[in-house]
Structure 1
């Protein structure tokens, strides 16, 4: 919808040579991720949402969330399974709670497991963990639940952690020197220690990685992958579906290089539940592993034991997305097109499908099962506003306006291009052969200032804020201008604000403006409160014909029976 809006504004502003509007929209336009695509954030109000800088939705049913505010405070809300909210207790909460222990620390990386458990790395290189710990995935040497964030320090003293990754019940950390550490559940070798014994504390993953500088790490449910600085990829852990891309399905207890990617420089790698994707520096996309839901995008559902290139006929890929909690895949192209495939709302999509989204994150919010986030989502506000926010801000702004209305001697400043886009009445009015198109000031006499201002503001915001009595006048305007949505909003305001004192006036207005649904609502209210309504001044000031019609109609409903 944002794209449609902006294209219309550009087209209209160019056609009308209104370069003020053109520049204004071009300067402020930016597409933002809407966190309310994830239902848990629908519990929060606009003010709370506006301060979110980073966020992550997780949990087996996407029922938990953590977010960081602009002032680097960390908040959590949700179901709190396995104490994964880190609040110090096991209580669920629909009201965000602040984690004071993390106050002021700048979060640079966050990941979650299936328990769930949480790993969080700060700008200072500290690593914190909490939540499920049945397999020592918190790295504190015990299997006790972590009810609050604890600093993971064993074997990581004097190390600066820059990135974290969680599998189902194992954990990994990457340091600024390119060392990989792993711990937790190790039944398939996912810790990379050379055995299948669980690892209670962080242990450096060596073997083939001993003299390598790792630059990125990811986890599948029970597998691990790392990219090193020369673009090579190494994998270890469970390989029953070929998710390590080694050409076989045997588990690996230590890191093994993906020979099939020899000669390619991998820039980004992601893992789903049991599949993997790799993106090269040339924008080529490779996939391998489980394919039950078509998550490899190959056009069929057969597993792939070795990497296979997909989306070969598409333009350059610039980002790929997957996470160990889902069987969903996504990719973004250089021109901004977003594709998805795999398990999408319970369906199997076996080929990359072009979406209307502008970021891969939206794929997971709207189509993945569960609808978790595949990464710590960054909300880069940076003083920019969305299109809707920008238009709202510029309403009645004389600095950018190119037209003003004069109502009751007061001016309302607007933008002609916006009015033409939003309202058929103005689109007809501002034609070259109409006098109004040449005017800088248009006089309005048939409506009051509050009513007309609310109407113009509605065109900028889609909202109306008026008392029920003024909403009657706006209902008149909406009827005159054939603005059906505005008409419905006015009726809603009137219904919401009806009282014994104004009920008969509102009934009269509904009849006058042919609002049948509102008329029926007001009539029933008057009948239900007949004694009180008939004692109001409004009742006896109403036109005689309407009064007679009301009495007859109320009588037919049995209002006057003893």
Structure 2
């Protein structure tokens, strides 16, 4: 068995030596698909950490470096580079006025104008301002970044979004602020007068906690923490999803999504995509290029399901300057539909890309970025990454578990640090092997791996077994992760089994989720073998609860 000193010596080498070797090495951001980057030298590209390509002809560029410097280049239309002039430049110029600021998020309008939030929650704007979209109280072009303090001085902004000529921000406490062009009610004030400074969007959002925002050309969207979607602004193409084409001057809930929990919203020029907690995509609005993915070019004013593949969707992408849509599945497949280099793609098309960013670089017109591109160090191992690498490594382990005839190699000190159960059970244990028969090999291995990685990777059915273990060991965070995994993998065939597990392990949130799923898919669920074999008491309670929510009404 390894001595403790021997273990810590190896542990020190494990953590420190990779840092020494790779501290200055960063993976280069893959920006070659955007032509404007050809203006940068190879040395400059090596330093890029974040990047945004924008402008009516994708001819403007802002990027940050590993040294937290911000550079810009391009035609500088309306002073959108923030350099204090309107001179174009084909060489990167440093944006000194934001020196020392780290970018958290960024969006751009059609003028173009820029809205940028720092990691400290400050907001800066510059560029085109004919409709007060910079929020500085004027209509004068902003040649240098303007720090917005009016109504936002005590707020921390965590997300920004730009329409054609209006701006939206989301604060850490779930409030939405808007300003700029308002001819169709897109700032949500109840009138059509332009809004020169940030104003909180209230109405139906007054007592809601927003978690995500997006803008189409002349409309605005917000997702709240209950999974509801609120919309306002221009609706001539049905992009608000309200079943009509009338403009909406104040936030209105998308009633057609009742019972569906939305996680994210993304807006194209005049169409909208939402992603649900079950990995389903719905679309509505303009469809002249097939951007709704319905197989035709007819506009839709109600949410319509987009059929991609059986794998759940984990990311949706659109931007207000294009008629293109994209999505990424849990298995890593990237699909696109809508305008593709001038052509119409009316159904989701599987691409060879690994990122939705590439869809907009190669297919959209203009070829802009739909979000701020970013890259992280990929070969410097953090402490967390080092620990993850050492899980089940017999070369450094000082303890092994024997489960179902298989060994799992671990480190006593880490188990004691990470788990109260092991802190006591391993205290006076000098053995280097522990036999485990209470749980299966996949479940126990997933549990031990969780202690190294803070994450789990299991099928929903195996996650039920891990939920049992988490309940037994009183690992509340692991219990929540198991419930999340089960939610993501629920389907008609396993819904009753997962509902039964939720009841058995007193996971009330999961129980409610499984029950709601069963109600939403009642016809199919009641025809499954799981329903036929359902425990009598559980069946009686299920029918009683289902009747109370009106599931059996004609």
Equivalence for 1:265: 261
User: Using the alignment, how far apart are the partners of 2:371 and 2:201 within structure 1?
Assistant: 23
Tell me the SS of whatever aligns to 2:32: helix
Pick one of 102, 105, 118 that aligns with 1:106: 102
What's the counterpart of residue 347 of structure 1? 343
Q: The residue matched to 2:168 in structure 1 has which SS? A: strand
The equivalent residue for 2:161 is 165
* Contact 2:237/2:301 (<8 A) preserved: yes
Give how far 1:32 is off: 7.3
**Is residue 291 of structure 1 aligned with residue 290 of structure 2?**
no
- CA deviation vs aligned residue, 1:89-116 (integer Å, no higher than 9, x gap): 1000111111111111111010000000
Please, what TM-score do these two structures have when normalized by structure 1?
0.62
Q: What is the alpha-carbon distance in structure 2 between the residues aligned to residue 359 and residue 32 of structure 1?
A: 15
Shift of residue 314, structure 1, vs aligned partner: 3.3
CA spacing shift, 1:259–1:32, aligned 2, 3 Å: farther
Report what 1:12 is aligned to. Answer: none
2:362 aligned with 1:372? no
Taking the aligned partners of 1:160 and 1:254, their CA distance within structure 2 comes to 24
Residue 515 of structure 2 corresponds to which residue in structure 1?
Answer: none
2:326 matches 1:330? yes
**Aligned match of 1:321:** 317
In the alignment, which residue of structure 2 is the partner of 1:186?
182
Distance between the aligned counterparts of 1:297 and 1:376, measured in 2?
25
Q: CA deviation at 1:382?
A: 3.2
User: 2: CA distance between counterparts of 1:71 and 1:307?
Assistant: 44
**Contact preservation (8 Å) 1:33, 1:362:** no
Is the 1:245–1:305 Cα contact (8 Å) retained in structure 2?
yes
RMSD of Structure 2 on Structure 1 (CA): 1.4
**Corresponding residue SS for 2:43:** helix
**Are positions 1:309 and 2:302 aligned together?**
no
Aligned-residue offset at 1:71: 1.7
Query: Following the alignment from structure 2 to structure 1, what is the Cα–Cα distance between the partners of residues 379 and 120?
Result: 26
In structure 2, the residue matched to 1:518 is none
In 2, distance between residues paired with 1:365 and 1:120?
21
Q: After the TM superposition, which residues 2-401 of structure 1 pair with which residues of structure 2 at under 5 Å, given as runs?
A: 34-311=30-307, 313-383=309-379
Q: CA deviation at 1:184?
A: 0.3
- 2-structure distance, mates of 1:54, 1:318: 22
- Name the CA distance, whole Å, in 1 between partners of 2:312 and 2:148: 40
Report the Cα offset of residue 383 of structure 1. 3.1
Question: Which of structure 1's runs of 4+ aligned residues deviate more than 6 A?
Answer: none
1:37 partner SS:
coil
SS at match of 1:47: helix
Instruction: Deviation per CA, 1:188-222: give whole Å up to 9, x if none.
Output: 00000000000000000000000000011100000
Aligned length: 356
1:186–1:198: 8 Å Cα contact kept in structure 2? yes
Partner residue of 2:451?
none
The CA distance in 2 between the partners of 1:324 and 1:382, in whole Å, is 32
The answer as to whether partners of 2:27 and 2:377 remain within 8 angstroms in 1 is: no
Looking at structure 1, the residues matched to 90 and 280 of structure 2 have their Cα atoms a distance apart, in angstroms, of: 43
Q: Shift of residue 230 of structure 1?
A: 1.1
Partner SS state of residue 36, structure 1 = coil
Q: 1:33 deviation in Å?
A: 5.3
Q: Secondary structure at the match of 1:35?
A: coil
Write the distance in 1 (CA, Å) between the matches of 2:128 and 2:27: 36
Q: Deviations over 1:411-450 (max 9, x none)?
A: xxxxxxxxxxxxxxxxxxxxxxxxxxxxxxxxxxxxxxxx
Partner SS, residue 111 of structure 1: strand
Q: Given that residues 260 and 307 in structure 1 are in contact (C-alpha distance below 8 angstroms), is that contact kept between their aligned partners in structure 2? A: yes
| 1:317, distance to aligned residue in structure 2 (A) | 0.5
Shift of 1:379: 1.7
Gaps of 5+ in 2: 1-25, 382-554
